Structure 1
Amino acid sequence: MRNFLYGAITSAAIATLTVSTLTVAPALSAERLSLSTWGSPAHYQVAEFVPMFKQLLEEKSDGDIRLKTFEGGEMVKQQFVATAVPQGTIDISLTTLDNWSGRVADVGILTTPLWDKSMEWTRDNLKPGNPVFDYFDAKLRDEGAIIIAMFDIGAPVVSTSFEITGPEAFANMPIRAYSKGSAQVLQTLGAAPTIMGVGDVYSGLQRGTVKGAMGGLGGAVGLKHYEVTSNMFVPNGVMGTLIHAYVMNKAKFEGMSPENQKILMEAAAEARDHMQQVAIDQLASLLDTVRENGNTVTIVEPGSPTWEAFAKQLEPLAREATQSYPQEVQDLIAAD
């Protein structure tokens, strides 16, 4: 009897193990992806995009695509994304597109006066299938990356320890730039730009290493730059804009099944559209937060004398851009 019971128990155990193994197998075969962001985790480009993207991936794939996330530059700092993604250090990362200018020179046009698109235009048009999106996606594919989402976080602002009433205020001032393109804008205005990673800006302002910092409004508020500055200058686009993206390692993407590729792009598009609208909706409240924390906010209105003064001083940069960038990309931007 004991042998019979032992045999029965063993058979049941094997059956249970078999069922358990069959149940676990799909999870073991799940597509596992890593995603890195930098800057403030509270910034809408992180807080609004990443959770929704992750949820949509899992829902649309029935759990077959899993996403592990790393915030605050834990895996890859802002300035190193253009190297880390093609190398496969991380599968997906947030990026400032102008940070790719060392590998893809044409992205620099996005920070010049030739790019005059509104956030609303970007929301509605800068998607896969749009000629501008596809142009830059093709350029990054040549470098081992693809663009899964491209968006506008708004015109950059300048957080400073001094008042800005016109271009002359920038003369000889050490100002943080976030990329080569933004440094060229500041240099044209007479400033002494220094490219600095987003994680170093607060301490740079606090210590006086820089007297001002150019960057996105969401990041400036999320990282509380108003604690170590007294003014915020809002050029409203006359000094360019900030086009960011989520990019993915090309080999990793192409190694996914066609179905999972489609799911990933759909999830990225939905999360991106949601985040872009939040970015548009939050602009006014973010400026209110800066004011509430004791900073003076100066907004340049399009067409005002101050706007015209900045536009005039930046004319040489616009002329240089028309000579520096291929006519093809200039025509694409002008056509849209």
Structure 2
Amino acid sequence: MSTRTHAARVALAILSSALAGTTALAADFNLRIHTLVQSPHPYNDMAAFMKENIEARSDGRIEIRIFDSGQLGQDPAVISEVGLGTIDLMISTTSNAAQQVPEFSIFTMPYLFTSMDDLIERVGPGTPVHEHFEKVYEERGVGMKLLALGGSGARSMSTRSVAVEGPGDLNGLRMRTPPSPMDAETWSAFGMLPVTVAWGELYAAMQTGIADALESSLPGYTGSKLYEVAPNLALTEHVIQVNHTSMSSVTWNRLPEDLQQIVLEVAEEANLHGLEKAKEYDDKLVETLQAEHGVTVTRPDKAVLIAVAEPIQAKLAADLDLVAEFELMSR
């Protein structure tokens, strides 16, 4: 997306907020929240939860408008806008923020968590990991306040034409990765050829053969209709996806202390709401994908995949200057 096109989208979003009606005009603070995904998806459920509860608990002093499906742009550009205060809130995967926060790459390390419950116990609000990344935000000067880290489902692999039964089926496939060095290094270790493609361009990349394979959460795979161009789903569950809920520091500092507390509390509650929705989606979507969309589902032996992944974890951490984060996650 060109800079001019992105600026036009943001300007349109601001104008839309200004014209949203008398309720929005009556609020003291009119905030915009970005997600990149289409529903059904935990991020959009979290955004709706935050809108409902923040507006109610603030007695209408805060009004929130949700812009899902990447209406405000792709994540790297949106993160910059959040830093400037042009966009107020965002909920997204940490892997899409790895350019601005390289330490987030640790969360794409394969088989780092055993389950979503394990994830939230280790990275949720109040944990040493959360506190570490609060400091990283400050040190990096990204202009955002970290409200919460959470989990939004297991990521699995899908391909255009190969039904994946084990590591041998991956060799030589062009694997779409987000702009995360950890992803590129990981899939290279499995003999794949990493190709960096933005999420919003992924459908076309798979359709035209720029990439042969992708990995995503099941809600992301379903909501973006990626089953149409990658109809072979392998339940590798190689990553339990970590998401971040972040707020513009500009916006945060504009809010009085009582409203800051409301926003923080609701974000933490939305985190748990998103976790439960992610579990629900993961349980139901496999059946739906097979029954309604003709997706071929395989279940590779994860023990075999872990045997490939575990030996490279420490090396990946060292190569990508993530030793501190790896040690913190290993406690």
Q: Identify the residue that residue 235 of structure 1 maps to in structure 2.
A: 236
Deviates more, 1:198-207 or 1:119-128: 119-128
Q: Highest Rg: 1 or 2?
A: 1
Q: After the TM superposition, which residues 269-280 of structure 1 pair with which residues of structure 2 at under 5 Å, given as runs?
A: 269-280=268-279
Q: Which amino acid aligns with 2:281?
A: Q
State whether structure 2 residue 32 is matched by structure 1 residue 31.
no
**Which of 40, 47, 57 matches 2:38?**
40
Q: Identify the residue that residue 103 of structure 1 maps to in structure 2.
A: 100
Name the CA distance, whole Å, in 2 between partners of 1:51 and 1:129. Answer: 23
Deviates more, 1:183-192 or 1:62-71: 183-192
Deviates more, 1:79-88 or 1:160-169: 79-88
Q: Identify the residue that residue 165 of structure 2 maps to in structure 1.
A: 165
SS of the residue 1:209 aligns to: coil
SS of the residue 1:137 aligns to: helix
- Provide closer, same or farther for how the CA distance between residues 176 and 25 of structure 1 changes in structure 2, counting only shifts above 3 A: closer
User: Structure 1: which 5+ residue stretches go unaligned?
Assistant: 1-23
CA contact (8 A) 1:188 1:314 kept: no
How much is the aligned-residue C-alpha RMSD, in angstroms? 2.4
Deviates more, 1:148-157 or 1:122-131: 122-131
**How big is the shift at 1:324?**
4.1
Q: Which amino acid aligns with 1:246?
A: T
SS of the residue 2:154 aligns to: coil
Q: Identify the residue that residue 205 of structure 1 maps to in structure 2.
A: 206
Name the CA distance, whole Å, in 2 between partners of 1:89 and 1:224. Answer: 30
SS of the residue 2:52 aligns to: helix
CA contact (8 A) 2:24 2:63 kept: no
Q: Which amino acid aligns with 1:171?
A: N
CA contact (8 A) 1:159 1:232 kept: yes
**How big is the shift at 1:317?**
4.5
Q: Identify the residue that residue 16 of structure 2 maps to in structure 1.
A: none
Name the CA distance, whole Å, in 2 between partners of 1:95 and 1:50. Answer: 10
Q: After the TM superposition, which residues 173-184 of structure 1 pair with which residues of structure 2 at under 5 Å, given as runs?
A: 173-180=173-180, 181-184=182-185
- Provide closer, same or farther for how the CA distance between residues 56 and 169 of structure 1 changes in structure 2, counting only shifts above 3 A: same
SS of the residue 1:236 aligns to: strand
Q: After the TM superposition, which residues 12-161 of structure 1 pair with which residues of structure 2 at under 5 Å, given as runs?
A: 28=26, 30-46=28-44, 48-113=45-110, 115-142=112-139, 143-161=142-160
**Which of 312, 315, 321 matches 2:311?**
315
Give TM-score scaled by structure 2 length.
0.84
- Provide closer, same or farther for how the CA distance between residues 317 and 272 of structure 1 changes in structure 2, counting only shifts above 3 A: closer
Percent of aligned pairs sharing the same letter: 24
**How big is the shift at 1:26?**
11
**How big is the shift at 1:224?**
1.6
SS of the residue 1:153 aligns to: strand
**How big is the shift at 1:120?**
1.0
Q: Which amino acid aligns with 1:202?
A: Y
Q: Identify the residue that residue 287 of structure 1 maps to in structure 2.
A: 286
Name the CA distance, whole Å, in 2 between partners of 1:52 and 1:86. Answer: 23
**How big is the shift at 1:35?**
0.7
- Provide closer, same or farther for how the CA distance between residues 272 and 25 of structure 1 changes in structure 2, counting only shifts above 3 A: closer
**How big is the shift at 1:65?**
0.9
